[in-house]
């Protein structure tokens, strides 16, 4: 991913200064996003970026250098969207990123959840037991989806990616007990089950794991540990 960018700071009351970077994404040069937008006032690029950084729902901006038009975007596009936007000369697109996110590794920042996340594409050499250690090696953990708001946020992000395989996130169930648990052994209370799930009574494996896929509208399934697919890592800032 090629980019150029500017760095700016946003001081927060009762908190440390947070450093944000507005990074220009060259795959969306001369392309105007026309959905999921917030109209901001005409201003310099730095002020446009600061206004976006101050809004929880704003994750990126479209900016026109000549007219200084500034448009906030509620989604962070890591690829050129196939159904949103149109060619328009002079527009540039910037992701507004927290500097704590390892953007070079492909992480995207979410102000709404104060975390960075990354979707690792399917790798036939990896299974569920490999996912958490890989996330930890990047400074995070397998993503916890613990609310409808977070579910919808990640679904919006997945919608721009061409992933048809199973997508794994954090959650395990031992068939010998009732509750589903996170890696720290705490009990999971939010679920987004597909109407056919869970169906663990058909399993012979001792444990099962949470997963979802596009063909089922990203509703959850219980999957076994030998299944292969994509997975989501997250770095949370408390």
Q: For 15-34, write each residue's pLDDT tens digit.
A: 455 677 888 888 899 999 88
Checking if the pLDDT of 153 tops 80, the result is: yes
Q: What is the arithmetic mean of pLDDT over 119-139? A: 92
Average pLDDT over residues 160-180: 91
Asked whether the CA dihedral 17, 145, 109, 130 is positive or negative, the reply is positive
What's the token pair of residue 43? 């201003």
Give every CB contact of residue 27 below 8 A, 6+ residues apart in sequence. 1, 2, 79, 80
Task: Clarify whether residues 18 and 67 are in a common domain.
Answer: yes
Instruction: Give phi and psi for 60, each to the nearest 5.
Output: -160, 170
3 state DSSP class of 115 = strand
* Euclidean distance between CA atoms 193 and 177, whole angstroms: 19
- 207 and 138 share one domain: yes
Q: What is the mean pLDDT of residues 125-149?
A: 95
Domain-embedded: residue 105 = no
Tell me: do 79 and 138 sit in the same domain.
Answer: no
pLDDT for residue 94 is more than 80: yes
How do residues 176-234 score in pLDDT, each as one tens digit? Answer: 888 999 999 999 999 999 999 988 766 677 899 999 999 999 999 999 988 999 999 99
- The structural domain count of the chain equals 2
Query: Could you tell me which of 136, 108, 100, 79 has the C-alpha nearest to residue 19?
Result: 100
Arithmetic mean of pLDDT over the chain = 86
Q: Does residue 107 form part of some domain?
A: no
Which range (50-64, 138-152, 167-181) has the least confidence? 50-64
Q: Which residues pair with 207 in a beta bridge?
A: 174
**Predicted local distance difference test score (pLDDT) of residue 10:** 47
Give residue 129's domain range.
112-236
- CA–CA separation, 8 vs 14, rounded Å? 19
**Looking at residue 112, what is its pLDDT?**
80
- pLDDT (0 to 100) of residue 89: 95
Does 3 score more than 50 pLDDT? no
- CATH for 93: 3.50.4.10
End-to-end CA distance of the chain: 28
Q: Is residue 93 part of a domain?
A: yes
């Amino acid at each position: 991913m090629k980019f150029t960018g500017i760095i700016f700071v946003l001081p927060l009351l009762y908190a440390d200064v947070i450093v944000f970077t507005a990074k220009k994404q060259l795959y969306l040069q001369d392309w105007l996003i026309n959905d999921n937008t917030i109209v901001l006032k005409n201003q310099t690029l730095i002020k446009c970026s600061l206004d976006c950084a101050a809004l929880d729902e704003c994750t990126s901006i479209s900016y026109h250098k000549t007219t200084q038009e500034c448009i906030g975007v509620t989604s962070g596009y890591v690829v050129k969207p196939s159904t949103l936007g149109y060619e328009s000369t002079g527009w540039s697109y910037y992701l507004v990123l927290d500097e704590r996110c390892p953007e070079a590794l492909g992480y995207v920042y979410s102000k709404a959840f104060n975390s960075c996340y990354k979707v690792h594409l399917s790798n036939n050499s990896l299974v569920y037991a490999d996912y958490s250690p890989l996330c930890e090696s990047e400074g995070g953990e397998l993503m916890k989806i613990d609310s409808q708001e977070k579910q919808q946020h990640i679904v919006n992000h997945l919608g721009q990616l061409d992933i048809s395989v199973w997508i794994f996130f954090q959650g395990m169930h031992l068939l010998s007990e009732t509750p589903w648990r996170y890696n720290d052994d705490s009990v999971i209370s939010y679920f987004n089950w597909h109407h056919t799930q869970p169906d663990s009574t058909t399993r012979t494996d001792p444990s099962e794991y949470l997963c979802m896929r596009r063909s089922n509208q990203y509703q959850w399934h219980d999957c076994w540990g030998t299944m292969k697919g994509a997975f989501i890592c997250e770095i949370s800032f408390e």
